[in-house]
Amino acid sequence: METVVHNPGLDGVVVGESAICQIDETRGSLRYRGYAIEDLAEQATFEEVSFLLLHGDLPSSCDLQEWQAELTYAGSLPTVVGQFLQTVPSSAPLMDVLRTGVSFLGMIDTEAQDVSHEANLRKATRLLAQMPLLLSWAVRTRYDHPVLKVPATKSFAQSLLYLLTGDLRESHAKELEVSLNLYAEHELNASTFAARVTASTLADLYGAVTAAIATLKGPLHGGANEGVAEMFYAIREPEEAQGWIHAKLRGKERVMGFGHRVLKHEDPRSAIIKRRAKALSQQADETRWYEIAEIIERTMKEEKGLLPNLDFYTAVVYQLIGIPKQAFTPIFVTSRMSGWCAHIIEQQDHNRLIRPRASYIGHPAREFLYIGDR
Ligand SMILES: CC(C)(COP(=O)(O)OP(=O)(O)OC[C@H]1O[C@@H](n2cnc3c(N)ncnc32)[C@H](O)[C@@H]1OP(=O)(O)O)[C@@H](O)C(=O)NCCC(=O)NCCS
């Protein structure tokens, strides 16, 4: 093997082409299939954004009606999944329940092994529609709460919020929807890359999504939004925030919700969700979490030059709309499902096995000795 420069963590390495998401890290801009995130986040519904990601274009009103009907039609869970959920210990992290639930759904889907474009789209639609149900069943059976049935006319965001909290307020659903739009896609982040690696072996879509969920769980990736909530609970009062952060940094600990591998200057999603968090805090007359967040933001900028990423102010919004902390990262799953599936489909439509190399730093060649001679 010729000598190659290696980049730990594949930092800055371009491994392929994609027509789904464009990140311009110098300008701090983000586009889904050509549309700026600033236009999509607050003006589009999650149904429009997920259609755009999976089908390549924004839907016409006729497409949208069909898409909503497809999602509603696909949105039921087989009885065996309900039986499986009854066996899950209440201590199991919800991300593990989703990961296993998706794997389970793949095992019983007769179309699972078909990696054609059409079959992949059908499976993606089913998974997108089933995720809120799987999540709410997992949460509600855990607390012995009856599983709720969503009114058929409700949007994806309204249904998800209702299924989790029983809240049907449109204003709260709008906040959730903005966050779903922001979470839907982000190029070759770790979980999407994991999904593409798995898909590149021509393994099935469920397997690729299972790998993605396992990858998203980590605190350096999707798990960060729950880490932010834990930090808020630990700090509790605005006047404690600065000292708390200083202590963490002195201990060389990472502060969740700050920093990004690609977006070193600004995360354009963060400005949007911060604005929403501020307005929501004022409307709800509950400004404590936002005040804590602003002090943390200021301290991190002064001490480390680091800026908040999407997970940071999202935790304030979720807190204010009554989402239980352990559902924060699973909600990320329900949204990123659209981006993951778009990438899996793109990968399998133009497949080449992903198989990088490593630079060997182990023991030089040595002679094998039989066990008695060692
Ligand atoms: C996301 C993340 C892994 C990207 O990291 P990266 O680009 O690979 O940067 P590195 O891990 O090389 O860190 C570079 C420096 O910044 C520091 N740093 C990066 N993020 C930090 C954070 N959130 N808190 C404290 N220090 C941080 C590192 O300690 C390191 O400092 P050093 O050079 O003094 O050792 C990192 O910023 C992080 O761990 N963030 C917290 C988790 C999080 O919010 N994840 C969601 C990402 S969207």
Atom from ligand 1 closest to the CA of residue 253 = 25
Percent of the chain with pLDDT over 70: 99
**More confident call, 232 vs 75:** 232
pLDDT score at 357: 92
Q: How far apart are the C-alpha atoms of 198 and 25, rounded to whole Å?
A: 27
Q: How far apart are the C-alpha atoms of 115 and 127, rounded to whole Å?
A: 15
pTM score, whole prediction? 0.96
For 308, phi then psi, to 5°, come to -70, 145
* Mean pLDDT of the region 198-208: 98
- For residue 30, give the 3-state DSSP assignment: strand
Q: Is 109 a catalytic residue?
A: no
| Ligand 1 center–CA 260 separation, angstroms | 7
Structural domains in the chain plus CATH codes: 18-217+325-349 (1.10.580.10), 224-320 (1.10.230.10)
Q: How far apart are the C-alpha atoms of 63 and 58, rounded to whole Å?
A: 9
- Written as six digits, the tokens of 187 are 């190029």
Best residue among 191, 261, 302 to mutate for probing ligand 1, ranked by most atoms within 8 Å of CB: 261
For residue 336, give the amino acid letter.
Answer: R
Atom from ligand 1 closest to the CA of residue 222 = 46
Active-site hit among 172, 186, 221, 260: 260
| Ligand 1 center–CA 321 separation, angstroms | 28
Phi-psi sector, 367: left (phi>0), alpha (psi -120 to 50), beta: beta
| Ligand 1 center–CA 306 separation, angstroms | 8
Q: What is the pLDDT of residues 118-152, one digit of tens each?
A: 999 999 999 999 999 999 999 888 877 888 888 77
Q: Is 144 a catalytic residue?
A: no
Q: Whose CA is nearest to atom 3 of ligand 1?
A: 220
Q: Whose CA is nearest to atom 36 of ligand 1?
A: 259
* Mean pLDDT of the region 51-75: 95
pLDDT at 116 > cutoff 90:
yes
Atom from ligand 1 closest to the CA of residue 312 = 44
Q: What is the pLDDT of residues 156-182, one digit of tens each?
A: 999 999 999 998 899 999 999 999 999
| Ligand 1 center–CA 257 separation, angstroms | 9
pLDDT band, very low/low/confident/very high, at 73 (cuts 50, 70, 90): confident
Q: What is the pLDDT of residues 23-61, one digit of tens each?
A: 999 888 999 999 999 999 999 999 999 999 999 999 999
Q: Whose CA is nearest to atom 6 of ligand 1?
A: 261
Using CB distances shorter than 6 Å, the residues near ligand 1 are: 220-221, 224, 254-261, 304, 306, 309, 311
| Ligand 1 center–CA 298 separation, angstroms | 17
pLDDT at 1 > cutoff 60:
no
